[in-house]
């Protein structure tokens, strides 16, 4: 039985009692290091709570603690849920040990002091990280599926909306908005696959790792993993205790996803300018100026750009901090990064599904400045049997001469082509006006690219169909993963209630 000297619960670390190993109360700097700001642990509270219940169930089933005491503690934890899990745990000030703190305060150390048998702060932190990240993965994967649906839907509407394909912000060749969007759709498809793979590697139980060497008590690690809904048990307790590569991999997966989104976000920002006027955003995603009344600033797009940059800053900090002693501390920004990403995905989806696309302006720009030059060279090869490089050089001369003469591609004549050919080969080419017009027509150029992955409208529609099929499959995958977690949560509650009933 605890004596009066040691009966009080210590501030911060409840087990750090004055008169035990240490003779002074913790300084504020110590509390900042461990357990740290209690508010930082709020996202982890559901994980700590689930582990408290699962650990108690396992200890009772293995007869490592009296079943009656396990039942009393489980009943108290269920009562905590009714009172408000977050509020109660935050009020204890015990952070990851808020469950034990609560149980000792309400049931006394004679009962509540039994919950920590065979585990350490390492179990709490590592399980908390894996468990919380698992939920974050599922939420982001769900939002990513919705964005993919929006992108695919918009692409299907614009399979024939021609526009320049920009390379280095210069007119390169001809594409369609549908083809552009399908590139994003397939990137997001791979992002989902990366997140799913990372999810499975993360969904491993570290419970039972202790302080890195496990415990000499016969803990049933597989049972705890089952109760928590993990797919397997990590095979080395040092690895389970100390490794945070699961969190760094999450940063990596999000970094690739944000790189894919960032390119499109930057393009939309540019396309929205008056000089481009390719798209117009819904007013809800814009703001204005306090002095320039004409302004319709794309504030949502600006926020998306800033959020991408801020994420990479957080990631760099995490990779540096992971070298310190506090692995979980290195990941403290990860939960907010996932929340920010979820809002980013929903925001971008909303922007895409509500924006107005200026297809007339896109078509105008598509034919304005020689985006069909390569197609004209191809026509010379097909019609006159020229080597590709010879046709390329004739076209290059034609473009230069046309610019110098102030002619647009639409104004080019067979005589202009012959003039360029004579300058390079000494002979006229004799390309007909019909061939030239067809080669310089944006939609004809896009439609001719029927190869797998090309921008031809029928090929874009095939891509849409393929991406839709994969989207359906991935929705099924996500539903299965979510059901596995729900089933584990229900199983844990049934096990806890069974022990309470039996006692």
**pLDDT tens digits along 258-276:** 999 999 999 999 999 999 9
Rounded mean pLDDT of 468-492?
Answer: 98
Which residue in 332, 336, 348, 342 sits closest to 195, CA to CA? 342
Average pLDDT, the chain: 93
Pairwise CA distance, residues 54 & 65, whole Å: 14
- pLDDT number for residue 317: 86
The residue count of the chain comes to 503
Are 405 and 411 in contact by the 8 Å Cβ rule? The answer is: no
Q: Give pLDDT tens digits for 386-409.
A: 999 999 999 999 999 999 999 999
Are 155 and 481 in contact by the 8 Å Cβ rule? The answer is: no
Write the secondary structure of 462-492 as one string of H (helix), E (strand) and C (coil): HHHHHHHHHHHHHHHHHHHHHHHHHHHHHHH
Q: Which phi and psi (to 5°) does residue 172 adopt?
A: -105, -75
- List the structure tokens of 486: 């729900």
Tell me the pLDDT band of 2, cut-offs 50, 70 and 90: very low
β-bridge mates for residue 205, sequence order: 233
- pLDDT number for residue 5: 42
Q: What is the largest CA-CA distance in the chain?
A: 109
Please enumerate in sequence order all residues whose Cβ is within 8 A of that of 384, keeping only pairs 6 or more positions apart, or say none.
391, 429, 430, 431
Rounded mean pLDDT of 447-453?
Answer: 96
Q: Give pLDDT tens digits for 140-176.
A: 999 999 999 999 999 999 999 999 999 999 999 999 9
Residue 336 has pLDDT above 70, yes or no: yes
Are 300 and 347 in contact by the 8 Å Cβ rule? The answer is: yes
- pLDDT number for residue 137: 98
The burial of 306, by beta-carbon neighbours within 10 Å (0-12 exposed, 13-18 middle, 19 or more buried), is given as exposed
Model's pTM, two decimal places?
Answer: 0.92
Q: Give pLDDT tens digits for 366-389.
A: 999 999 999 999 999 999 999 999
Pairwise CA distance, residues 455 & 375, whole Å: 14
Q: Which phi and psi (to 5°) does residue 452 adopt?
A: -55, 125
Are 191 and 392 in contact by the 8 Å Cβ rule? The answer is: no
Pairwise CA distance, residues 60 & 102, whole Å: 19
Pairwise CA distance, residues 259 & 237, whole Å: 35
HSE toward the beta carbon, residue 47, CA cutoff 13 A: 27
Domain at 123-366+459-489: CATH architecture: Up-down Bundle (1.20)
Pairing between strand 232-233 and 356-357?
unpaired
- pLDDT number for residue 6: 42
In the chain, what percentage of residues exceed pLDDT 70? 93
Pairing between strand 204-205 and 170-176?
unpaired
Tell me the pLDDT band of 92, cut-offs 50, 70 and 90: confident
**Residue boundaries of the structural domains of the chain:** 4-117, 123-366+459-489, 373-440
Tell me the pLDDT band of 326, cut-offs 50, 70 and 90: low
Residue 3 has pLDDT above 50, yes or no: no
Which residue in 365, 404, 5, 356 sits closest to 154, CA to CA? 356
- Secondary structure of residue 142 in the 3-state scheme: helix
Pairwise CA distance, residues 484 & 478, whole Å: 10
DSSP codes joined into one string, 270-318: HHTSTTT--EE--GGG-B--SS-TT--B-HHHHHHHHHHHHHHHHHHHH
The burial of 277, by beta-carbon neighbours within 10 Å (0-12 exposed, 13-18 middle, 19 or more buried), is given as middle
Cis peptide before 35 (omega within 30 of 0): yes
CATH number of 4-117: 1.10.275
Query: Euclidean distance between the first and final Cα of the chain, in Å?
Result: 23
Pairwise CA distance, residues 149 & 262, whole Å: 18
Residue 347 has pLDDT above 70, yes or no: yes
- pLDDT number for residue 36: 63
Rounded mean pLDDT of 75-89?
Answer: 95
């Amino acid at each position: 039985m605890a004596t009066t000297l040691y009966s009080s619960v210590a501030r911060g670390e409840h087990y750090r009692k004055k008169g035990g190993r240490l003779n002074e109360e913790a300084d504020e700097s110590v509390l900042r290091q461990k357990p740290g700001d209690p508010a930082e642990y709020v996202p982890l509270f559901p994980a700590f709570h689930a582990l408290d219940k699962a650990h108690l169930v396992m200890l009772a089933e293995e007869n490592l603690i009296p079943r009656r005491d396990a039942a009393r503690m489980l009943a108290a934890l269920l009562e905590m849920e009714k009172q408000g899990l977050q509020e109660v745990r935050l009020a204890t000030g015990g952070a990851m040990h808020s469950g034990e703190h609560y149980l000792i305060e309400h049931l006394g150390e004679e009962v509540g002091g039994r919950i920590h048998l065979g585990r350490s702060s390492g179990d709490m932190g590592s399980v908390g990280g894996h468990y919380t990240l698992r939920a974050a993965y599922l939420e982001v994967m769900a939002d990513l599926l919705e964005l993919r649906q929006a992108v695919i839907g918009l692409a299907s509407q614009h399979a024939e909306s021609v526009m320049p394909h920009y390379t280095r912000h210069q007119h390169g060749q001809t594409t369609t908005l549908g083809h552009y969007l399908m590139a994003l759709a397939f990137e997001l498809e791979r992002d989902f696959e990366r997140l799913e793979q990372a999810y499975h590697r993360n969904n491993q139980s570290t419970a039972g790792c202790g302080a890195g060497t496990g415990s000499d008590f016969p803990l049933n690690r597989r049972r705890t993993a089952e109760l928590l809904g993990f797919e397997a048990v990590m095979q080395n307790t040092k690895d389970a205790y100390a490794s945070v590569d699961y969190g760094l991999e999450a940063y990596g997966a999000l970094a690739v996803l944000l790189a894919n989104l960032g390119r499109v976000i930057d393009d939309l920002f540019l396309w929205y300018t008056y000089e481009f006027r390719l798209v117009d955003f819904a007013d809800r995603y814009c703001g204005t100026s306090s002095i320039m009344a004409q302004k319709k600033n794309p504030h949502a797009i600006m926020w998306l750009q800033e959020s991408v940059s801020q994420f990479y800053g957080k990631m760099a900090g995490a990779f540096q901090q992971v070298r310190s002693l506090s692995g979980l501390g290195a990941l403290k920004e990860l939960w907010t990064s996932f929340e920010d990403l979820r809002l980013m995905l929903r925001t971008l989806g909303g922007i895409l599904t509500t924006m107005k696309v200026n297809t007339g302006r896109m078509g105008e720009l598509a034919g304005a400045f020689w985006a069909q030059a390569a197609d004209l060279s191809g026509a010379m090869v097909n019609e006159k049997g020229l080597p590709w490089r010879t046709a390329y050089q004739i076209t290059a001369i034609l473009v230069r001469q046309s610019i110098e003469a102030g002619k647009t591609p639409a104004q080019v004549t067979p005589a202009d082509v012959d003039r360029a050919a004579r300058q390079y080969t000494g002979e006229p080419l004799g390309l007909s006006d019909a061939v030239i017009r067809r080669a310089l027509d944006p939609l004809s150029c896009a439609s001719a690219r029927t190869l797998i992955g090309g921008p031809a409208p029928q090929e874009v529609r095939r891509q849409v169909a393929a991406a839709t099929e994969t989207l359906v499959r991935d929705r099924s995958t996500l539903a299965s993963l979510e059901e596995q977690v729900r089933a584990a949560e229900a199983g844990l509650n049934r096990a806890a209630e069974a022990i309470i009933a039996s006692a």
